[in-house]
C-alpha cells in the first residue's frame, strides 16, 4: 500500500495550463481505470474533481481534464484561475483498498 | 440537504481509545459504501477503512486490529472505534461516501490528537 508519487509543487500564470503527474504501479494506477483527483483548499475538506481516470462530476469546470498511460495518470488544468490555487491529490483503487498521492501544491502566480 | 457531519475527535493519550461518529443526512448510510480517510497535520490523505453497503469491511494495514468501522441504521451514523491509539494516528479524520470507486462526498472532518 505505497503512496502514489506526485511532484510536490507546480505553478502557472493565470490563463496558462499546468499538468500534474501521478505515478503508481501495475497494482493500482496501471491495474484499474479508477483513478480520481481531489482539490483541497486550506482548512477545507477535499473535493472530487475527476473520477474513473477522466470523468468530471457535475459542476466541475471543463478546464479540468485528466488521462492515464500505463502506471502514470495526469491532471491538466487549463486557463488557470486564481481559485485553482490549492493542493491536488490523486488516488487509485487498488483492490479493496485505496492509495493516495502525496499531493501537489498548485500555485497560480 | 445531503451532508456528513463528523464528531468525537479530541486529545487522547497513547494507548487510549476514541470513537468517531459521522452523522448522515439526506440519504441512508446503509445504502452507500462509506469510508474514513485521514490527514496528518501538514501531510497528505490516507485511506483508512471502508464499510460496503452490504456490510463488508476493509482496512489499511497500519490500523488492522486497532480501528473498527461500523454503522447504526437507526441513528443513520457511521462510526470509527479507535483503540490502542498511537502518536502516528494523529490526524483530521474525514468520513466520505464512495461512488465511482472514488470519494464523492466528504464531511468537514474531526481532529484526533494522540499525545502524552
Span B49-65, pLDDT tens digits: 999 999 999 999 999 99
pLDDT exceeds cutoff 80 at A46: yes
> CA nearest B78: which of B64, B95, B91?
B95
Strand partners, B4: B24
Mean pLDDT taken over chain B: 97
Using an 8 Å CB-CB cutoff, list chain A residues near B108.
45
- Is B44–A38 a contact, with Cβ atoms under 8 angstroms apart? no
Statement: residue A4 has pLDDT above 80: yes
Nearest CB to A57; choose among B37, B104, B109 = B104
- Determine the pLDDT at residue A1: 60
* Strand B57-59 versus strand B45-51 pairing type: antiparallel
Quick one: average pLDDT of A15-43?
97
Question: pLDDT averaged over chain A?
Answer: 96
Give the pLDDT of residue A96: 83
- Among A35, A50, A101, A73, CA closest to B47: A101
Contacts of A96 in chain B (CB under 8 A): 50, 58
Count contacts between A and B (CB, < 8 Å): 62
Q: Is B94 close to A46, i.e. CB distance below 8 A? A: yes
Contacts of A83 (CB under 8 A, 6+ apart): none
Per-residue pLDDT at B63: 97
Residue A83 pLDDT > 70: yes
Instruction: Give me A57's grid cell.
Output: 462530476
- Cβ of B45 within 8 Å of Cβ of A91? The answer is yes
For A50-71, what is the mean pLDDT? 97
Q: Which chain B residues are within 8 Å of A46, Cβ to Cβ?
A: 37, 45, 94, 103, 106
Amino acid at each position: 500500500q505505497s503512496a502514489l508519487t506526485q511532484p510536490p509543487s507546480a505553478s502557472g500564470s493565470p490563463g496558462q495550463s499546468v499538468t500534474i503527474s501521478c505515478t503508481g504501479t501495475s497494482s493500482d494506477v496501471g491495474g484499474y481505470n479508477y483513478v480520481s483527483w481531489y482539490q483541497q483548499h486550506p482548512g477545507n475538506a477535499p473535493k472530487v474533481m475527476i473520477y474513473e481516470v477522466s470523468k468530471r462530476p457535475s459542476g466541475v469546470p471543463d478546464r479540468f481534464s485528466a488521462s492515464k498511460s500505463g502506471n502514470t495518470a495526469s491532471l491538466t488544468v487549463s486557463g488557470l484561475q486564481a481559485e485553482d490555487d490549492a493542493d491536488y491529490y490523486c488516488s487509485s483503487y487498488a483492490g479493496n483498498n485505496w492509495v493516495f498521492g502525496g499531493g501537489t501544491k498548485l500555485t497560480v502566480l | 440537504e445531503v451532508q456528513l457531519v463528523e464528531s468525537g475527535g479530541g486529545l487522547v493519550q497513547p494507548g487510549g481509545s476514541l470513537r468517531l461518529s459521522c452523522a448522515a443526512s439526506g440519504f441512508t448510510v446503509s445504502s452507500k459504501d462509506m469510508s474514513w480517510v485521514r490527514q496528518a497535520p501538514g501531510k497528505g490523505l490516507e485511506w483508512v477503512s471502508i464499510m460496503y453497503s452490504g456490510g463488508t469491511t476493509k482496512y489499511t494495514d497500519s490500523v488492522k486490529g486497532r480501528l473498527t468501522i461500523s454503522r447504526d441504521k437507526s441513528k443513520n451514523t457511521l462510526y470509527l472505534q479507535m483503540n490502542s491509539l498511537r502518536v502516528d494516528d494523529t490526524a483530521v479524520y474525514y468520513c466520505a461516501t464512495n461512488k465511482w470507486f472514488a470519494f464523492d462526498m466528504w464531511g468537514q472532518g474531526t481532529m484526533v490528537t494522540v499525545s502524552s
